[in-house]
């Protein structure tokens, strides 16, 4: 066995080094918590955007919000943030949902951070909505410029868009390789890598992505029952190990946190703010968007393209937007003959035997384990 370091070790060390560097960095670090935040604007302003993924804190911020709120939002309010991100200079919150909206309110009231900004996000994708979102992006630029005393030129924006498009291309390649079984990574490592792209600056994560792409073998191997992992957060990467251990193979993912990306790069030939507004608003939707059929069609297409045999739907407890969608999606997949397992996480890390049992039982079901007329192959 070669003793060269695995991608995972490298990734972990890179993240650690990077997070360490943020405390001594001059450029202000701006936290964001929803994949609809147009980080390219923050980059154009010379700021450092950072996807907030706090570890589940001991105290979950219930006192500021309410116990029946999504755990991600409560973790951000709770001490987890103070401990994990002491160098934060600002926060950009999207008006994604009631949880995020109240996070902004509670944060503004109880915590001390000089730059906290809420950006509105349309729920529909009509031309009027795109125009409105463009205006919101303009408002963000104005706010950022005046608060941090910077000016954002069209050239800087264009260059940031190009960098973003490069990330987009690399991620698309990684996703393709994932689907073909050509990543020389475990599913756990692949998902961690995808998550990291929200954390690391582009110049730091591009080399890692390129390396993974270059080191991919020519031949793919199908390693287990093809599973689509869909949902919002995945604070507990152990889930992916459980899927692998149970004989599943995460052939595709559709998670807010691992980059549910646009299918198209940011256009460089039109008004940049319009291009950006379109890029974000018209991309594959999160469940909070009103047109749930569009999302269901998107997921069904993923299932078909990647020849998925089972879908694992991983969402946070108390998330209204996903909770209403789940039964409709399940029904659609049912008609396609694809079973779906719904897991509601409390964002507490670790797992009760309950989650592990459900995942294992689901994979046993897909594998036909325990069926009386089936002889099982040794694994």
Partner 1 sequence: MNSSPLCAGLDIGSLSTEVVVIGPQGIMGYSIVPTGSNIQRAIQSSMEKALKDAGVSQSHLSAVVATGYGRFNLSFPARQVTEITCHGRGASHLFPRTRTVIDLGGQDSKVIILDARRRVVDFVMNDKCAAGTGRFLEVMAGALETCLEEMGSLSLRARKRISISSMCTVFAESEVVSLIAQGASREDIIGGIHDSIASRIYRMAKRLRIEGEITFTGGVAKNLGMVEVLRRRFKASINLPDEPQIVGALGAALIARNSPQPVR
Partner 2 sequence: MIERLIAWLIRRPHYYYLVRGPLRVYYARYANPAFMIWVSFLLRTYKEAFARTRPVIWSSAFVPTELVYGLGGVPVHPEILASLMAYFDISGWFLEKADTRISTDLCSFYRIALGMAMAGFLPQPDLLLSSSTFCDGSNKFFGYLSQLYNVPHFFLDVPYHDGRHGRRYLVDQLKDLTDSIAQLTGIPWRPERMERVVELSNRARGYLLQINDLRKSRPAPFPGSEALSYGVGMMFCSIGTEPSVNFYRALCRFIQQKVDQGAGYLPEEKHRLLWLHHIRPYYPNNIFDVLNGNGAAVVFEEASHVYWPQLDNRAIFESVAQKILSNFSNGPLERRVDNALKMAKTYEVDGAIHFSHWGCRQSCGGASVLADVLKAQGIPCMILDGDGGDPSNYSPGQTQTRLEAFVEMLE
For position 84 contacting partner 1 by CB under 8 A, the verdict is no
369 binds, among partner 1, partner 2, none (CB under 5 to 8 A by kind): partner 1
Residue 28's CB is within 10 A of a number of other CB atoms, namely 20
For position 176 contacting partner 2 by CB under 8 A, the verdict is no
For position 358 contacting partner 1 by CB under 8 A, the verdict is yes
DSSP 8-state secondary structure symbol assigned to residue 119: E
For position 375 contacting partner 1 by CB under 8 A, the verdict is yes
358 binds, among partner 2, partner 1, none (CB under 5 to 8 A by kind): partner 1
Candidate ranges 82-90, 144-152, 244-252, 322-330; the one touching partner 2 (CB under 8 A): 322-330
Contact 162, 62 (CB under 8 A): no
- The distance of Cα 239 from the centroid of its chain, to the nearest Å, equals 15
**Nearer Cβ to partner 2 (78/248):** 78
**Nearer Cβ to partner 1 (39/363):** 363
Q: What is the three-state SS of 16-46?
A: HHHHHHHHHCCCCEEEECCCCCCHHHHHHCC
For position 149 contacting partner 1 by CB under 8 A, the verdict is no
Alpha-helix residue ranges (DSSP H) falling in the chain: 7-24, 39-44, 71-77, 79-84, 98-110, 127-148, 154-180, 187-199, 202-214, 238-245, 272-281, 292-305, 320-335, 353-367
Instruction: Label the pairing between strands 225-231 and 29-32.
Output: unpaired
**Nearer Cβ to partner 2 (54/61):** 61
Q: What are phi and psi of 117, to 5 degrees?
A: -130, 135
For position 306 contacting partner 2 by CB under 8 A, the verdict is no
**Binding to partner 2 in span 326-345, by CB under 8 A:** 326-328
CA–CA separation, 224 vs 369, rounded Å? 14
For position 69 contacting partner 2 by CB under 8 A, the verdict is yes
Candidate ranges 96-104, 199-207, 259-267, 362-370; the one touching partner 2 (CB under 8 A): 96-104
Candidate ranges 185-193, 195-203, 307-315, 358-366; the one touching partner 1 (CB under 8 A): 358-366
CA–CA separation, 100 vs 121, rounded Å? 11
CA–CA separation, 349 vs 55, rounded Å? 8
Binding site for partner 2 (CB under 8 A): 63-66, 68-69, 95, 97-99, 101-106, 109-110, 118, 120, 122-124, 126, 128-129, 131-132, 135-136, 288, 290, 292-293, 317-318, 320-321, 323-328
Binding site for partner 1 (CB under 8 A): 339, 352-354, 357-358, 360-361, 364-365, 368-376, 378
């Amino acid at each position: 066995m070669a003793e060269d370091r695995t991608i995972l070790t490298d990734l972990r060390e890179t993240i650690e080094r990077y997070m360490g560097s943020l405390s001594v960095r001059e450029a202000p670090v701006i936290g964001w918590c929803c994949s609809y935040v147009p980080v390219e604007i923050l980059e154009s302003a010379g700021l450092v955007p950072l996807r907030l993924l706090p570890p589940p804190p001991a105290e979950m911020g219930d006192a500021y919000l309410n116990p029946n709120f999504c755990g991600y939002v409560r973790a951000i309010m709770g001490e987890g943030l103070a401990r994990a991100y002491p160098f934060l200079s600002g926060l950009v919150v999207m008006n994604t949902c009631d949880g995020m909206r109240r996070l902004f309110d509670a944060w503004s009231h109880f915590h001390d951070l000089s730059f906290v900004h809420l950006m509105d996000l349309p729920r529909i994708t009509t031309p009027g909505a795109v125009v409105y979102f463009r205006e919101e992006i303009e408002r963000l630029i104005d706010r950022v410029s005046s608060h941090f005393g910077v000016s954002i030129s069209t050239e800087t924006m264009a260059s940031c868009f190009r960098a973003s498009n490069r990330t987009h291309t690399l991620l698309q390649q990684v996703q393709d390789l994932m689907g073909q079984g050509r990543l020389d990574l475990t599913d756990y490592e692949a998902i961690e890598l995808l998550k990291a792209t929200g954390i690391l600056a582009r110049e730091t994560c591009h080399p890692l992505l390129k390396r993974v792409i270059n080191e991919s073998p020519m031949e793919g191997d199908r390693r287990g029952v093809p599973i689509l992992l869909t949902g919002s957060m995945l604070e507990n990467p152990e889930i992916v190990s459980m899927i692998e251990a149970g004989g599943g193979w995460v052939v595709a993912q559709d998670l807010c946190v691992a980059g549910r990306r646009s299918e198209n790069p940011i256009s460089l030939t039109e008004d940049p703010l319009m291009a950006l507004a379109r890029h974000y608003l018209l991309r594959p939707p999160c469940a909070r968007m009103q047109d749930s059929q569009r999302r269901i069609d998107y997921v069904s297409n993923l299932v078909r393209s990647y020849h998925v045999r089972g879908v694992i739907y991983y969402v946070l407890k108390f998330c209204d937007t996903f909770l209403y969608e789940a039964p409709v999606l399940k029904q659609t997949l049912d008609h396609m003959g694809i079973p779906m397992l719904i897991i509601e996480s409390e964002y507490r890390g670790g797992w009760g035997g309950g989650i592990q049992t459900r995942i294992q039982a689901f994979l046993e079901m897909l594998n036909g384990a325990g069926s009386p007329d089936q002889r099982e192959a040794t694994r």
